[in-house]
């Protein structure tokens, strides 16, 4: 059984905080009773969350995995699988290609398989989870990650919001989707660890007391001019052994992680302080504003000044709304019924009053 020492919890928390989660597409799979669908393998990790009904997910050569409401399942890249509804009849299988959303549509794509009574409805998504510049952290997943949540602790609300953002992306959709997915993954990982599930290299990495020492140094003082040699000394390992163990655990070099932590810290300073960009660069360990701006743009897709303006505008807009709401009941903003209908179109796609289940 995999034991996760309490001393590693802080290191894991900080590692999760700097994860990058890229959302490719979400699809609702509506598989009718007595039917099943065989889907092609994903190039990225794929997650599946059962919204309604009962069925199984079958990976070739493995025992079928039961799907019921609030089941969370993550598959590594390159796995061919099929989803079937539970039925006393012989299952009729269809081979289907994946559906990909169009940004202009108001509902998430729905893959309907078969006809007749309801069987099982799942939210399926393609995601990439990793540290910037590193490999997908779930590539080395030896078997599907399966977590069964109870009725009162499921992730239905998060997935309904994810489906809505996937259907109608707008300003901040990427940030919101990443935050929602990170919440889902953290809750699933927590349960998975509690159940003593098989280990992943990066989970083993944050349980290694030697690597923990290096991680704590990086997260506590990212502005320090670390080298691989100095971090190896902190970890009490040889340079070569430390570099190899670090890359094996986290999919990238120690210096790449330092750069990522510095940039994440810089984004916090840009949003929460009025420090000049050059001073922010200095505080997080960059030698010049130009090198900082280049690295920041590569990670966030915009320069530091634009990043600050975007979040300042969003904050001012929120304060303006709050002020109007607190002024008087007559100042309460009205909701455009057209926007209301579009925003909740995804719930109609999920269907059959999923959100009321």
Domain limits of the chain?
Answer: 19-198
Tell me whether strands 118-130 and 81-85 are parallel, antiparallel or unpaired. unpaired
- How far, in Å, CA of 119 to CA of 259, rounded? 48
List the chain residues with pLDDT less than 70.
1-9, 24, 98-108, 132-135, 166-167, 172, 196-199, 201, 313-357
**Spelled out in words, what is the top-level CATH class assigned to the domain 19-198?**
mainly beta
Determine the pLDDT at residue 322.
52
Tell me whether strands 118-130 and 35-39 are parallel, antiparallel or unpaired. unpaired
Give how far Cα 3 sits from Cα of 15, 48, 201, 204, Å. 18, 26, 13, 9
- How far, in Å, CA of 305 to CA of 317, rounded? 18
Determine the pLDDT at residue 102.
43
Determine the pLDDT at residue 294.
95
Determine the pLDDT at residue 138.
79
Place of tokens 């997935």: 159
Helix (H, G, I), strand (E, B) or coil at 168: coil
Q: What's the whole-model pTM score?
A: 0.65
User: For residue 250, what are its two tokens?
Assistant: 């986290």
- How far, in Å, CA of 39 to CA of 126, rounded? 13
């Amino acid at each position: 059984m995999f034991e996760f020492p309490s001393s590693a919890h802080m290191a894991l928390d900080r590692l999760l905080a700097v994860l990058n989660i890229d959302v490719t597409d979400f699809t609702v799979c509506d598989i009718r009773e007595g039917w099943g669908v065989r889907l092609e393998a994903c190039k990225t990790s794929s997650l599946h969350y059962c919204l309604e009904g009962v069925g199984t997910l079958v990976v070739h050569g493995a025992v079928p995995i039961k799907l019921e409401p609030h089941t969370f399942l993550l598959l590594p890249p390159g796995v061919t699988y099929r989803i079937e509804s539970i039925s006393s009849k012989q299952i009729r299988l269809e081979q289907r290609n994946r559906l990909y959303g169009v940004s202009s549509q108001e509902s998430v794509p729905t893959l309907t398989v078969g006809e007749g009574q309801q069987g099982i409805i799942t939210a399926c998504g393609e995601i990439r989870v990793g540290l910037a510049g590193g490999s997908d952290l779930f590539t080395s997943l030896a078997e599907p990650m399966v977590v069964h949540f109870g009725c009162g602790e499921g992730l239905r609300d998060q997935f309904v919001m994810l489906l809505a953002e996937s259907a109608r992306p707008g300003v901040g959709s990427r940030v919101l989707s990443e935050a929602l997915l990170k919440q889902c993954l953290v809750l699933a990982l927590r349960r998975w660890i509690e159940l003593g599930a098989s280990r992943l290299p990066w989970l083993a990495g944050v349980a290694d007391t030697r690597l923990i020492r290096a991680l704590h140094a990086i997260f506590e003082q990212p502005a320090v001019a670390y080298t691989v040699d100095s971090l190896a000394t902190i970890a009490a390992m040889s340079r070569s052994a430390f570099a190899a163990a670090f890359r094996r655990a986290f999919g990238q070099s120690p210096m790449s992680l330092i750069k990522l932590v510095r940039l994440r810290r810089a984004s916090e300073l840009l949003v929460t302080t009025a420090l000049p960009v050059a001073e922010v660069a200095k505080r997080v360990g960059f030698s010049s504003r130009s090198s900082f701006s280049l690295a920041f743009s590569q990670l966030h897709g915009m320069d530091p000044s634009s990043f600050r303006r975007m979040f300042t505008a969003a904050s001012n807009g929120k304060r303006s709304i709050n002020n109007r709401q607190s002024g008087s009941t007559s100042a309460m903003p009205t909701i455009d019924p057209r926007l209301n209908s579009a925003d909740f179109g995804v719930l109609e796609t999920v269907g059959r009053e999923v959100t009321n289940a």
